[in-house]
Structure 1
C-alpha cells in the first residue's frame, strides 16, 4: 500500500450552528489527538470572538491519526470551516485543499440556505460529499423529512446519510469508516515537480509569516529555497510542520499532507493566498487551479479615534489582511474624521468581525462609517465611473444615470411567514421571483433585491419575522438603474462628509429627517442657533434647529427703566449675530460614534 493511499483530506461543511465544531471536537477525542486533560469545547476555535459568539470565523486545519478496523494506520487531515454566508470564501479555499467533505445537516432544522450553497460548492469541485444527519437525539428531530430533503433539494441518495449526534458521540465510528471508504486518496500526487497550495496565512510576531499549505506533489523540507509561482518571489524555508492541533515541527512535509511553512518573508504583502509554491531548484511550470478572486460587496471607512494611531492602524490592517484575504483597504481622508481607510468587506458580519478584531488584537479605538456599496455612474460626457464613497459622487448636473448592484437571495422560511417576507421584500425595493415548496412546513423563495437595502437590518428582520427559523444565502447579480441621490448633512451651513450617504430618492426625506433628529439630540448647544439640514443637491429636504444657550444679561438690573434691559438684550442679540457669522461648530468625536452606531443598526 502506497503512502498516499493511507491519507484522507476532508473538511466539514454546513449551515451556521449545525454542529461542525462539535463534530471536530469528537473526532479529536476519537483519534486521541488531544489528551482528555487538554480537551475543551470548541477546541479548534482559537479566537476569543469565535468562542463568545459560538461561530467559526477562520478555517482550522488539524492532522489526526486513526487505526482502522483492518489494523491499517490512516492519516486524516481535517479542515474545520465557517458556516456563515459572509465567510464562504474561507469554505471555498478549504475545499480546494481537500478531496472530500462531510456535509452536516441539523436533524431538527433540516437543510438551510447555506447548506445548499456549500454543498453545490463542493459538488462543483468534483468532491466526494458524505451527508451526515446530526443532532438526532434532539426531541424535535425529524430524520425521514431531512432524508427526503437531501434527495429533493441536493439530489444526494438518502441511504448514504450517516445518523449521528456529535454532542453525545453517536455515529462517530461510522463517520470515520465512511471517510476511509468514500473519500478518495490525495490527487495529483504523481506530478514530477513540487506543487503546494497556500490556503491560509497567519502573522506571528516572532516567526513572521506562516503559510498554511496543502502539499499536492513532491516534498518541502527545512533549508529549501521555494518559489511563489504568481510573482516569482523566492524565500528560504525556516521551519515546516503539521497541526496536531497546535503547530508541531517536522523534518519534511510530503505529498498529500496538510501543514505549515515558516519562511524568511517578513512583509505580509508578499504572500498571496491561493498561490502555488514550488522549489526554486526544480520549479513546476503549471500552477495548481486556484479559486476565484474575492470581490468585496460592502464598503465602509475605518478611522482611528485618536489621529496619532493612524500608522498603528495601517500596520494592523496589513497583518489582518494576511490572515483574512477577503479584506481590501485603501487610504482615504475625511475633513471630520482625519486620516483612515476605505475598507471592502464581504458582508456586514464580516465587517463587524474585522472591526472587533482590530479593537481586540491590536488594541486600537476605531470608528466605522455608514456601510455602502459600489455604484456605477454614467456621466453626461459618456464616461462611466465607480463610486465607492458617497463623497466622490459627481454633481447631479453631470449624471446621466446611476446603477446599483443587486443580489439574488435564496430564502428558506416557514410557509406561514410567506406574507410577511413578501411585504419585507417589497419594502426593500425587491421582488420575489419564484417560490418552491420544500415540505409541508417550509418553502424556498428566490428574491431579487438591491444590495444596499440588505446591508443593515434585512437579516435581523428575516430572523425576527420567522422566529429564528428563516435562513438566507445570496450571490451578486446584475447592476440595475435606479433613482439614487446623495444625501448630505449640513451643520451650520457646512457639509459633514462622514454623514453623507447614497439613498433612493423616495427615501431621502425620511432618512434625512431621521439623521437630523438624531444629531439634534447628540450635538452640544452653542451660544448661537445651529441649523442641521439634510440636502439632496441644492434642495433641503429636512431641518432641525438647536436653540442657543442664553446668558441672563439682565440679571444685574434691579428695577429701573425697561429701556435699560432692552438695551442689554439688543446688545446680546448683536453679539450672537456676529458670533454666528464667525462661529464654527466643532462636532465632538462622541457625536460621530453615537450617530454612526445608531444608523448602522
Structure 2
C-alpha cells in the first residue's frame, strides 16, 4: 500500500491538463508508440472536436523510482465550471492534486474554485507551472501569483511543458515524494467508494471504485449500501489504457467492477460497496447531492419514442451523475422530461450526446431556473415553479423569489468597465473589487441566476476579448418582481415558448421574441398574429403575412366593383381558414429565443 499514489489534475479551461496527462503516460511507458495520440484520455469524439474534457478519466501507471516500483492512479478532470461536479467526485477518490497554472494566462477563476474544493478534502497540492516554453509566458510573475495563493515556497512550484515534455520527471518525483500513500485497514471488512460508472451494451454497467478498507476479490458476493442489493463480482481489474483483469484489488487502489447489472437505477455514484457476508458498519460520507441550476424540457420529436428517450437518459445519467430528470407533458410538444443541468454548456453537451450516442432527435424548450412562489392565501407555503405554466394566477400571487449567485470574475484591468456594465445590465450588484496584481482584477457580483443562464458567458468572453474567467456558487433565494410572458400564435398560447422574466425587461424581451418568431415561422395561407402577453394584456405584436393567390389577375379593365367582389370573397375564405388553421413551429424557433442578442 505504501507504494500507491492516487492523484488528480485540476486547472482552469485550456491550461493544458489533458496534454500534461499524455506526457505522464508517455514517460511512465503506460502507452505504446502505436497507441499514442493527442488528448489520449478524452475518448469521446465530442471532447476531441471541442478540445474540452467533459468526463473525468481514470488510468493507472507503473513507475520505478529509487529502485522501488510504484503504482500511480491518475484522474484527469474537466476545467469548465459546468462540470465542477465531476471534479468534486474525482477529488473524493484521491490524496493529492496537481494544480496546473498556465504561465501565459496566470491564475483564473476556476483555478481558485477547484483549489478550494481540493483543500476542503485535505489533498496535498503540487503546483505546476505549465506552458513555460511559450514566447508569451511570464514564469517569474506567475510563480509569485501561485506562491501568494498557496502560501508555498517558490521552489515548490514545478516549471513544466505539456507540449515538449519538459519537467515531467520532476512532477513524477514530486507525486511520489509529496503525495501521502493511501491510509486504510487491509484487514477490515471491504469498504469502497464508487466515483464513476459507464454503460457497456454487452457487459452491463462498469463501476469504477476506490478501495478504502479491505479488498475486493473476483466472484466475491458484494452489496451496494444505498440500494441494499447483493451482486456477484464477475470481474474486477485495474484501469490501464485497456482494462486489465485481476484476481483481487487491495486497499488504497483504484479499479473497475463488472457485476452484470443492467438497470441504471441500481448504481449510484458516491455509494459504498461492501462485503455481503461481513458488511462494514459505516458508509463513506462527503458526497454532496448535485444541485441543478438550469431547467429545460427535452421532448422526443416523435411522441412514440418517449420510452426509448427515457432509457437513453437513464444510461446517460450513469455516465453523468449531474443530470437530473422527471417526466412532464406539454400541450404543444406531448410527453417529455423536465431536466436539470449545471449550466448551458452542460445542456448543449447532453443534447448532443443523446443525438450521437443514442440516435435520439429531441426538441429542447427554453431553459429557465427554479423559482419559489408564495400565494396570498398561505404566504408561508413554497410553490416550486420549474415551468412558467406552474406560476399561480397573478391575482392570487403574494411574491416570487428567484435564486441568486455570487459570481467571481477575474479579468485584465483594461476591461473592468465593459465587464461591470455587462453585469449591471444583467441586474448584478457589485460586492467587491480586488486588484490581484496591477494588471488583473477580481470582481465579485451578486446576480440572479436566470440572467446568466442564456448568453452571459459568451458575452463576457466577447467584451473582455477572451480574457475574463468566470466562476459562481449559489447564495440562496431573493425576492424579485417577476411576470410570466406568454407567446400567442394565432390566438393560441404556446406553453413551450412562455418565459418568466423580470418586470423591467419583460416588454423589450417580449418584443424581441415576436420579431424573431416572425422571421422563423413559415408563411401560411392566412395571416398569423404573433403576440406577447402578460396575463390578458398584449405587450407586443407582429404579423406573418399570408401567401395569397392573385385572384384579380383575370380582370382587366371594367369597373372596380368586379375586383372588389373577388377580393372580398378571398378575404372570407382566409378568415374561415384562420379559424381552423394551426401553426407548425419549427425547432429552430425554440432555440432562437435563447440567442436573442445575435
Find the partner of 1:52 among 49, 53, 59: 49
Find the partner of 2:289 among 289, 293, 302: 293
Q: Where do 1:55-66 residues align within 5 Å?
A: 55-66=52-63
Match of 1:77 in 2: 73
CA drift at 1:528: 2.7
Equivalent-residue separation in structure 2 for 1:460 and 1:98 (angstroms): 33
CA drift at 1:599: 4.6
Equivalent-residue separation in structure 1 for 2:38 and 2:115 (angstroms): 26
Q: How far does the alpha carbon of each residue in 1:62-109 deviate from its partner, in whole angstroms, 9 at most, with x for none?
A: 1100000x2000000111111111111111111111111111111111
Find the partner of 2:113 among 114, 117, 122: 117
Secondary structure of the equivalent of 1:553? coil
Match of 1:357 in 2: 353
Equivalent-residue separation in structure 1 for 2:363 and 2:479 (angstroms): 32
CA drift at 1:455: 0.9
CA drift at 1:587: 1.6
Match of 1:42 in 2: 39
Q: Where do 1:228-243 residues align within 5 Å?
A: 228-243=224-239
Instruction: Label 1:117 to 1:598 Cα distance change in 2 as closer, same or farther (>3 A).
Output: closer
Instruction: Label 1:564 to 1:138 Cα distance change in 2 as closer, same or farther (>3 A).
Output: closer
Greater Cα offset, 516-525 or 10-19: 516-525
Match of 2:446 in 1: 448
Greater Cα offset, 527-536 or 424-433: 527-536
CA drift at 1:309: 2.2
Match of 2:167 in 1: 171
Aligned pair 1:573/2:571, yes or no?
yes
Equivalent-residue separation in structure 2 for 1:522 and 1:301 (angstroms): 21
Match of 1:272 in 2: 268
8 Å CA contact 1:201–1:322 kept in 2: the answer is: yes
Aligned pair 1:379/2:400, yes or no?
no
Instruction: Label 1:266 to 1:472 Cα distance change in 2 as closer, same or farther (>3 A).
Output: same
8 Å CA contact 1:226–1:277 kept in 2: the answer is: yes
Match of 1:486 in 2: 484
Find the partner of 2:524 among 516, 522, 526: 526
Equivalent-residue separation in structure 2 for 1:241 and 1:38 (angstroms): 21
Aligned pair 1:22/2:19, yes or no?
yes
Aligned pair 1:257/2:253, yes or no?
yes
8 Å CA contact 2:9–2:97 kept in 1: the answer is: yes
CA drift at 1:294: 0.6
Secondary structure of the equivalent of 2:552? coil
Aligned pair 1:207/2:207, yes or no?
no
Across the two proteins, how many residue pairs are aligned to each other? 596
8 Å CA contact 1:22–1:167 kept in 2: the answer is: yes
8 Å CA contact 2:489–2:583 kept in 1: the answer is: no
TM-score, structure 2 normalization? 0.97
Match of 1:457 in 2: 455
Equivalent-residue separation in structure 2 for 1:329 and 1:34 (angstroms): 39
8 Å CA contact 1:486–1:501 kept in 2: the answer is: yes
Secondary structure of the equivalent of 2:335? strand
Q: How far does the alpha carbon of each residue in 1:380-436 deviate from its partner, in whole angstroms, 9 at most, with x for none?
A: 112221111112111111111111101101111001111111111110000111111
Match of 1:555 in 2: 553
Equivalent-residue separation in structure 1 for 2:292 and 2:483 (angstroms): 22
CA drift at 1:558: 4.8
Find the partner of 1:139 among 105, 110, 135: 135
Secondary structure of the equivalent of 1:179? helix
Match of 1:151 in 2: 147
Equivalent-residue separation in structure 2 for 1:339 and 1:210 (angstroms): 31
TM-score, structure 1 normalization? 0.96
Match of 1:104 in 2: 100
5+ residue gaps, structure 2: none
Find the partner of 1:389 among 381, 387, 390: 387
Equivalent-residue separation in structure 2 for 1:567 and 1:461 (angstroms): 55
Secondary structure of the equivalent of 2:234? strand
Equivalent-residue separation in structure 2 for 1:129 and 1:561 (angstroms): 92
Equivalent-residue separation in structure 2 for 1:30 and 1:97 (angstroms): 24
Secondary structure of the equivalent of 1:397? coil
Instruction: Label 1:120 to 1:435 Cα distance change in 2 as closer, same or farther (>3 A).
Output: same
Match of 2:176 in 1: 180
Secondary structure of the equivalent of 2:155? helix
Aligned pair 1:5/2:2, yes or no?
yes
CA drift at 1:149: 1.2
CA drift at 1:519: 1.4
Secondary structure of the equivalent of 1:308? helix
